């Protein structure tokens, strides 16, 4: 995954142990004994998150090279450049794509670094089919936009462990509003494509049609971000920094400055308790579509058969198209403008 892999590092009996085809392979062991002067690289004085997840047997060299390794003709220690692999691989791959096709390409990496957003996107890695990870997904896409990587998404419905109908449905609904949208799970897990459940299929079609309708707006946000930097998905406090109620709304987010999304992230919930900042907001989903909604905290209905709560800010003009079954077919349809009047603006 965007770095030198050596599955079995520091293991007495790695997966290739006693392999009849390769009987002389020696396991790779790195200097992790504190008495060894070179252990400062594989066992730095601070503990990383891996210790809390995997225990004291976890090392920075697990599943990769020893941190003491040197590269670039001995000028760089692996300890110092390991985190750059994702970035440099993204740059090289994007360049190769263009040289091969003479067209703009898309590169999505699991490993990124500051400035990676200039060259590619990021997906948040192997999550698990749990409600906690669905909630983390809502937060993660906002965080990576703040890191300067706007094209980001998660493994919808969860990568590890079997998902379930309700969780997958809610994840599909929210995932339709992530810049990078993909349902993906481990090969050993049960199928979880939307067609596995009629309810999930119906909810996915509805959410995807909304996404396809507003792809011109989403594309425009990416275009502006590519020229000027900034975010595509953003936290509410980006637009309303003086409103302290927006400072702890990790599950709500904005598309640009004009569209507010409040996904369902709790099990068995059929409503969303959401906050609308002081502004003019119009409903864009099944509940009171097109009607002006009062700001402040409110509870909005969110049954399985509905879109999740979505609102457009008054004073906004958004491009959209009638959706079709593919992005290419959608692109052939005429453009429309959604005009949301604001009390502070005159037509």
pLDDT digits (tens, 9 = 90+) for 57-77: 778 888 889 999 998 888 999
Identify the pLDDT of residue 21: 87
Identify the pLDDT of residue 345: 60
Low-confidence ranges of the chain (pLDDT < 70): 1, 50, 345-347
CATH code, residues 85-216:
3.20.20.80
| DSSP code of residue 255 | E
CATH code, residues 232-340:
2.60.40.1180
The CA distance from 194 to 337, in Å, is 31
The CA distance from 259 to 217, in Å, is 10
Identify the pLDDT of residue 43: 84
Q: In 3-state terms, what secondary structure has residue 209?
A: helix
**Alpha helices, DSSP H only, in the chain?**
39-42, 49-54, 78-81, 85-101, 131-146, 165-175, 198-213, 215-228, 236-239, 327-331
How far out from the chain centre does Cα 24 lie? 42
pTM here is 0.91
Rounded to 5°, the CA angle 64-70-76 comes to 115
The CA distance from 122 to 113, in Å, is 10
Handedness of CA 230, 236, 239, 245 (dihedral sign): negative
How far out from the chain centre does Cα 247 lie? 21
Identify the pLDDT of residue 346: 55
Domain parsing of the chain, residue ranges:
1-68, 85-216, 232-340
């Amino acid at each position: 995954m965007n770095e030198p892999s050596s599955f079995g590092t520091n293991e007495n009996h790695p997966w290739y142990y006693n392999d009849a085809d390769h009987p002389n392979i020696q396991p790779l062991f790195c200097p992790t004994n504190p008495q060894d002067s070179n252990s400062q690289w594989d066992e730095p004085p601070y503990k990383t998150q891996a210790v809390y997840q995997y225990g004291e047997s976890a090392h920075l060299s697990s599943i990769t090279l020893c941190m003491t390794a040197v590269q670039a003709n001995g000028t760089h220690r692996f300890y110092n450049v390991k985190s750059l692999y994702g970035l440099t691989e993204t740059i090289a791959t994007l360049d190769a794509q263009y040289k091969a096709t003479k067209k703009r390409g898309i590169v999505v990496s699991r490993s990124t670094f500051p400035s990676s957003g200039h060259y590619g996107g990021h997906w948040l890695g192997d999550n698990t089919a749990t409600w906690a990870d669905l909630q983390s997904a809502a937060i993660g896409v906002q965080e990576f936009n703040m890191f300067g990587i706007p094209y980001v998404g998660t493994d919808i419905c969860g990568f590890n462990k079997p998902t379930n109908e309700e969780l997958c449905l809610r994840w599909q609904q929210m995932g339709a509003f992530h810049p990078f949208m993909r349902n993906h799970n481990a090969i050993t897990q049960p199928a979880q494509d939307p067609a596995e459940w009629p309810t999930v299929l119906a909810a996915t079609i509805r959410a995807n049609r909304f996404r396809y309708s507003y792809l011109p707006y989403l594309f425009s946000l990416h275009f502006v971000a590519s020229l000027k930097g900034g975010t595509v998905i953003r936290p509410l406090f980006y637009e309303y920094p003086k409103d302290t109620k927006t400072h702890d709304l990790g599950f709500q987010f904005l598309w640009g400055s004009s569209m507010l999304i409040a996904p369902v992230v709790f099990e068995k919930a059929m409503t969303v308790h959401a906050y609308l900042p002081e502004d003019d907001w119009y409903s864009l989903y099944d509940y009171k579509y097109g009607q002006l909604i009062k700001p402040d905290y409110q509870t909005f209905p969110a049954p399985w058969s509905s879109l999740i709560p979505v609102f457009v800010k008054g004073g906004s003009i958004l491009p959209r198209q009638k959706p079709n079954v593919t992005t290419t077919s959608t692109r052939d349809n005429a453009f429309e403008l959604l005009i949301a009047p604001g009390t502070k603006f005159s037509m």
